[in-house]
Structure 1
Amino acid sequence: MAESSAPVPVVANDPLPPLQELGATSAPLKSAAYFIGDQCKEFNEDFMLCKNENRDPAHCLAEGRKVTRCAADVLNKLRAACVQEFEAHWNCLEWNNQYYYACRKEERPLNACAFTKLGYKKEIPGSPEGKTPIHLIERPYFKRQQK
């Protein structure tokens, strides 16, 4: 008899099936952070609302799993569509103490790939209206310094 592939409803007292961790260090997560924030915004907001309701970690397991699955999906899509650009950017972050400003040159091709191939967008919260977003500035004032 074939197994059913229908999704199993989550019931409060049922144990949750195992979920693989993202399997990414801080550099790939930081490289994909804006895309994860854009694509997983609703799941993140639900999780944060749940955490504000109750500080018990078990209370929000289902919402946390949705956030993790969404982030894993974004990372997998970036790896599939933009592997070279993604690796170049997160390797730059890894070697430059996780500073975005030091990796703008590598960030531009990643953004272009994610925008065109995946339809992602990048909006930085709190950016002033009518000003060029920092990740689009061609000649930034702050640059890496030789020490």
Structure 2
Amino acid sequence: MVVTKEVHLPTMEELDTQEVNVSTATLMSAAPYLGKSCENVNSEYMLCRQELNDPRACIKIGKMVTACAMQVFRRIKAECLEEFNQYANCVEKSSGDFVFKNCRKTQMVFDGCMFEKCQLRRPHFGYFCRGRVHRTSSPEPAAPPCPCHSPVPDPTPSLPDCKPRKPARFGGRLFWTND
């Protein structure tokens, strides 16, 4: 990608935030709770990325997504660390591709702890596949100044009424369908 001097690139101070530095198994084990707890801020971030088509404009919201994920992990660590570690360890070591089917017992213990101590219930199967309408307070983006979005007049006039045409000299395209 070519960047000219007119393009503002964010500084490292603008981009600097605490990262969620966890393994794949840990992230997959906490994913339903992350998705449910951070649903609004995630939707706001995706809306920003879709509407503005510029990741630089969504840095603040991206930091809010990261902060929400960190908050969920802190809450898990404070309330259900032992149960979560058993579940994440099972997911990591029970198979080579992180399947959950071998870890349903440890998942049930972890889910019970999350409901009992954090009042968070695991979303039902298919919850994240449902369509939703996200209500936002952010302003609607301005229309792009590009002239390519202006309406173009139709250069071809409509065809005049004409006489019926005679059949094609060598038959039509679908000659094999004629009986």
Indicate whether the TM-score tops 0.5: yes
Which structure would you say has the larger RCO, counting Cα contacts within 8 Å and 6 or more residues apart? Answer: 1
Post-superposition Cα deviations, 1:7-65, rounded to whole Å, max 9, x if no partner, equal xxxxxx89537311112111111111111111101001101101111232212111111
Instruction: Please name the residue that 1:109 is paired with.
Output: 109
What amino acid maps onto 2:112 in structure 1?
A
| Alignment pair present for 1:70 and 2:68 | yes
Larger CA Rg, structure 1 vs 2: 2
Instruction: Please name the residue that 1:123 is paired with.
Output: 123
Provide the TM-score with structure 1 as the length reference: 0.72
What amino acid maps onto 1:80 in structure 2?
A
Aligned residues: 115
Provide the TM-score with structure 2 as the length reference: 0.60
Instruction: Please name the residue that 1:16 is paired with.
Output: 14
Distance 1:125 1:104, change over 3 A: closer
Cα RMSD, aligned residues only: 1.8
Offset, 1:103: 1.0
Q: Which residue among 24, 29, 32 is the counterpart of 2:30?
A: 32
Structure 2 segments unaligned to the other structure (5+ residues): 1-9, 128-179
Q: Which residue among 31, 37, 51 is the counterpart of 1:53?
A: 51
Question: Share of identical aligned residues, percent?
Answer: 32
Instruction: Please name the residue that 1:139 is paired with.
Output: none
Structure 1 segments unaligned to the other structure (5+ residues): 1-12, 128-147
Instruction: Please name the residue that 1:41 is paired with.
Output: 39
CA contact (8 A) 2:15 2:59 kept: no
Offset, 1:122: 1.3
Q: Partners of 1:50 and 1:79 in 2: how far apart?
A: 31
Secondary structure of the corresponding residue to residue 20 of structure 2: coil
Post-superposition Cα deviations, 1:51-109, rounded to whole Å, max 9, x if no partner, equal 11123221211111111110111011101111110001111111122111121111011
Q: Partners of 1:71 and 1:53 in 2: how far apart?
A: 23
Pick which of 82-91 and 95-104 moved more: 95-104
Instruction: Please name the residue that 2:164 is paired with.
Output: none
- Runs of 4+ more than 2 Å apart: 13-18, 124-127
Q: Partners of 1:72 and 1:83 in 2: how far apart?
A: 14
Q: Partners of 1:19 and 1:103 in 2: how far apart?
A: 33
Instruction: Please name the residue that 2:84 is paired with.
Output: 86
